[in-house]
Structure 1
């Protein structure tokens, strides 16, 4: 049985012997520079990030779970977190890859990322072959993103986020305008998508209407009419993360956003996010970021 490696973006860097100083939420690379020797075959892995690949000139194939998709020149495709995947590059003369986390999408692209761009929940994403003129529109965008990524600026993430909004809108316009994630895939896939949509909705209600909600596995299971053990089993098998992992990541992302963009005190944020005591929130935040909420707020003002 082939070993499945769990990948964060930093793990990707390490596997390619690229320098990395810290965890990162967004990267863009010229593919021939990082895969200079072709053909190249990747290990089987489960990525914790999105990948968007723009192939102007090249060919190969990628595998998502048990589905294989060949690609060639003037092709665009993306893969989302959770799936078991691998890829093979036959040749790569002109291609770019963008990797970014769900946290980056929420914090810098759109807070309701799956509501605005539901195609990001797609179970499997075949490559999209484009006409040369249409592909050129995307080339302008990803090369501008590459240029901004190389710069050092205090507004770097916001600039990258806004450029990526345009890129996602163009992808939506060209390929996914009427996509409904709940109509695609088998029962387990639909449970995952329903859970992610519900996760979005609950956090949106809590933060926009000033309500306090306790985010527990049992609550989501009740909403979906499932036993909590079954819900957790499906989510874990399909995404590699437990329901509590998903809730924790979403809680952390919303906490960061509230600390950066509002005047709510840490105590108010704690209660808003369902913590019974502010000290519990502080411990949770420090466990995941190594700094306190107060320090995080000061460093982002």
Structure 2
């Protein structure tokens, strides 16, 4: 069976033949209740690889969720977190009350914090087991995601900024309940360790680029050298585990960081290009347009 790749939840639902009425196609952030969408049960998805993060809050539902080669039962009072790239299948037997939040790195960087992975390193992990909350903890989570839902589906011109601020509170609660003693080095197998280390190296390098501690972007070979791996082996592991090539990860990271920098209107596009390692501004502009469909200046004007 062919695995579906999806840039966002809207694209995934379209490919699965699921109603998309409650999902924003343009935003890097979505929040909706699955009982609004999955009315014909049971439902089993085709295998898919999403290019976004997700939190699933199970107040009352039953089914199963497969992440890579691990299958988990869905039970009431459970929270699921998954990050981009993992192979997944979900199966719903019943849904009474389930909230799904999805977001991409661009949203995190723009509306949560430019260095979000510094405070929430668990976002970079490979596979996280579902977490069961006690009733009081789940009610606290529920208060937050219902508030996020109301604000995101409102008509405020600042709804993304409000949702981003509320996501900080949600992430802090998740960190408090699940990841206070999280060890970012541990992963379950060698391939997972390679993926995790690559993601951390990618994040660290772009932090250095944007901060002026590095001038030249790392190549695929450089990321392989950091783990003492043959470049073909690194490429094979990353592609097979995440569904994206190393080059695609680098391109997506470059665009995410560029969008954050373009929020600062005091920064000339020329300086942004230099910070991201582009020797010529036109090269950066062409690169940005290739990956987004618009120029850096047009993107910046849309953020007014």
Flag whether TM exceeds 0.5 (same fold).
Answer: yes
State the match for 2:18 in structure 1. Answer: 16
Secondary structure of residue in 1 paired with 2:207: helix
**Counterpart contact for 1:215–1:274, Cα < 8 Å:** no
CA gap 1:143/1:242 in 2 versus in 1, 3 angstroms = same
State the match for 1:194 in structure 2. Answer: 197
Secondary structure of residue in 1 paired with 2:185: helix
CA distance in 1, matches of 2:181, 2:264: 32
Q: How many residues align?
A: 300
Secondary structure of residue in 1 paired with 2:168: helix
CA distance in 2, matches of 1:168, 1:8: 22
**Counterpart contact for 1:115–1:197, Cα < 8 Å:** no
5+ residue gaps, structure 1, are none
CA gap 1:214/1:80 in 2 versus in 1, 3 angstroms = closer
State the match for 2:116 in structure 1. Answer: 113
**Counterpart contact for 2:105–2:256, Cα < 8 Å:** no
RMSD, aligned α-carbons: 1.7
CA distance in 2, matches of 1:282, 1:115: 29
CA gap 1:123/1:294 in 2 versus in 1, 3 angstroms = closer
State the match for 1:267 in structure 2. Answer: 270
Cα shift readout 1:55-107 (whole Å, capped 9, x = no counterpart): 11111110011111002111111121111111111111111111111221222
5+ residue gaps, structure 2, are none
CA distance in 2, matches of 1:294, 1:180: 41
How much has 1:22 moved relative to structure 2? Answer: 4.2
Cα shift readout 1:173-230 (whole Å, capped 9, x = no counterpart): 0011121232122111111111111111111112123642223112222222222222
Is 1:146 aligned to 2:149, yes or no?
yes
State the match for 1:295 in structure 2. Answer: 298
Which residue, out of 230, 245, 259, partners 1:242? 245
**Counterpart contact for 1:118–1:180, Cα < 8 Å:** no
The TM-score with structure 1 as length reference comes to 0.94
CA distance in 2, matches of 1:215, 1:90: 46
Which residue, out of 81, 84, 88, partners 2:84? 81
State the match for 2:57 in structure 1. Answer: 54
**Counterpart contact for 1:213–1:272, Cα < 8 Å:** no
CA distance in 1, matches of 2:24, 2:188: 39
How much has 1:30 moved relative to structure 2? Answer: 1.1
CA distance in 1, matches of 2:138, 2:24: 34
Cα shift readout 1:238-259 (whole Å, capped 9, x = no counterpart): 1111111111111111111111
How much has 1:267 moved relative to structure 2? Answer: 1.6
**Counterpart contact for 2:54–2:83, Cα < 8 Å:** yes
Is 1:204 aligned to 2:207, yes or no?
yes
State the match for 2:2 in structure 1. Answer: 3
Secondary structure of residue in 1 paired with 2:63: strand
